[in-house]
């Protein structure tokens, strides 16, 4: 199909290749700086008091960034996929006979759920294996063998007593973590004296301990050992979120790079820089909370920051022969936009907004 076959007259009137090239170079610099700044702030500032991951400012900024990702999926990517897959340049069958954009977005959301689940299970097993030796260094002592609370103390070989499971530094208890561990403890050990011999003992000052812990139980909401599970979740979330952001960033960059219309490119520079900054902030927050090693965090941050500028560069190189209005290009763009929308909507709602609130 020729380059003029399905192009609008508005784009043809505004076509200016030298001006478009200058704007593309400006876009590369602007979007790169915005991405680097957005993803770096949570990583560099995590040790600063006003940018701590549990601070109000960080939570508010991350919630806003999650909203940007949600709107990108619903308003931009899904709409773009619908526009591409319903373009008049495509044959009516099958593209006009079935709502493919929503279908692909739904499939992407369900696949993301599956990857999310499998990834979490994998990292939990990996983490459990790594800590097997550490757990052997302590023995479990119940404060009350007849109690259903399942509150336990870790007593090390040197006689020192660890924190009650789920207890935060200030003495508070995490109810979800405590009950989860209690259920696991009841199912993991045989019942009766034989199974608990040498493990379950009554301490002489149980009454005082129980009073102290019942007091702490009602106050605070720290995570204690639950932080390990939280870290596992952040590892999975950050990697899937990066996959979703990167997939649509390449498409956006390619679309901008092949355009020869300053009328199209000019407003995209500000919009994409805004999106890149806040998407980077959300991703950087997840990476920071996942507690990656410095090298891994740096690689993930750089990979995110480079994707849209790289897409623009590829688009500039392919602009002479790439026709964004050809059926193959429209189908590819529409499917990838719809898949990206499903990934971003799932991640924003389930792993960012719902988790934070």
Q: Is the pLDDT of residue 273 over 80?
A: yes
Q: Is the pLDDT of residue 142 over 60?
A: no
CA 28/CA 9 separation, integer angstroms: 27
Q: Which residue is associated with the tokens 């499939």?
A: 107
The reported pLDDT for the residue numbered 220 is 43
pTM listed for this prediction:
0.64
The residue among 167 and 88 whose pLDDT is bigger is 88
**DSSP bridge pairs for 173:** 167
Task: Kindly state the tokens that stand for 136.
Answer: 């052997």
Q: Is the pLDDT of residue 21 over 80?
A: yes
> Is residue 216 a contact partner of residue 167, using CB atoms and an 8 Å limit?
yes
> Is residue 302 a contact partner of residue 35, using CB atoms and an 8 Å limit?
no
CA 260/CA 16 separation, integer angstroms: 6
**Which of 208-212, 267-271, 329-333 is the least confident region?**
208-212
The reported pLDDT for the residue numbered 53 is 64
- CA-wise closest residue to 237 among 335, 340, 343: 343
The residue among 216 and 341 whose pLDDT is bigger is 341
Q: Is the pLDDT of residue 160 over 90?
A: no
What's the gap between Cα 98 and its chain centre?
A: 31
**22-79 tens-digit pLDDT:** 999 999 999 999 999 999 988 887 666 666 666 788 888 888 999 999 998 999 889 9
What's the gap between Cα 90 and its chain centre?
A: 34
Query: Averaged over 131-142, what is the pLDDT?
Result: 56
CA 51/CA 59 separation, integer angstroms: 9
207 phi, psi to nearest 5 deg: -60, -45
């Amino acid at each position: 199909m020729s380059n003029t076959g399905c192009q609008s007259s508005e784009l043809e009137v505004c076509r200016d290749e030298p001006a478009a090239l200058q704007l593309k170079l400006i876009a590369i610099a602007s979007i790169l700086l915005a991405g680097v700044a957005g993803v770096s702030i949570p990583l560099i500032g995590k040790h600063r008091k006003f940018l701590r991951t549990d601070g109000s400012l960080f939570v508010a900024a991350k919630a806003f960034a999650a909203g940007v990702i949600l709107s990108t999926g619903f308003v931009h990517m899904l709409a773009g996929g619908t526009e591409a897959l319903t373009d008049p340049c495509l044959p009516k069958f099958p593209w006009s006979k079935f709502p493919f954009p929503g279908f692909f977005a739904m499939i992407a959301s369900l696949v993301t759920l599956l990857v999310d689940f499998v990834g979490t299970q994998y990292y939990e097993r990996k983490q459990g294996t790594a800590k097997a030796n550490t757990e052997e260094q302590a023995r479990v002592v119940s404060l009350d063998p007849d109690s259903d609370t399942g509150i336990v103390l870790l007593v090390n070989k040197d006689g020192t007593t660890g924190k009650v499971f789920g207890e935060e530094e200030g003495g508070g208890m995490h109810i979800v973590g405590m009950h989860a561990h209690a259920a696991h403890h009841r199912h993991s050990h045989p019942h009766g004296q034989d199974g608990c011999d040498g493990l379950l003992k009554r301490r002489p000052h149980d009454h005082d301990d129980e009073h102290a812990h019942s007091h702490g139980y009602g106050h605070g909401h720290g995570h204690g050992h639950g932080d390990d599970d939280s870290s596992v979740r952040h590892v999975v979330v950050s990697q899937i979120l990066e996959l979703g952001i990167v997939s649509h960033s390449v498409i956006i960059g390619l679309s901008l790079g092949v355009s020869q219309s300053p009328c199209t490119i000019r407003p995209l520079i500000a919009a994409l820089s805004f999106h890149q900054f806040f998407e980077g902030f959300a991703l950087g927050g997840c990476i920071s909370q996942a507690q990656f090693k410095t090298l891994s965090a740096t690689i993930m941050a750089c990979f995110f920051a480079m994707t849209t500028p790289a897409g623009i560069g590829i688009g500039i190189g392919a602009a002479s022969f790439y026709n964004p209005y050809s059926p193959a290009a429209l189908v590819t763009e529409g499917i990838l936009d719809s898949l990206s929308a499903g990934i971003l909507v799932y991640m924003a709602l389930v792993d960012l907004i719902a988790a934070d609130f």
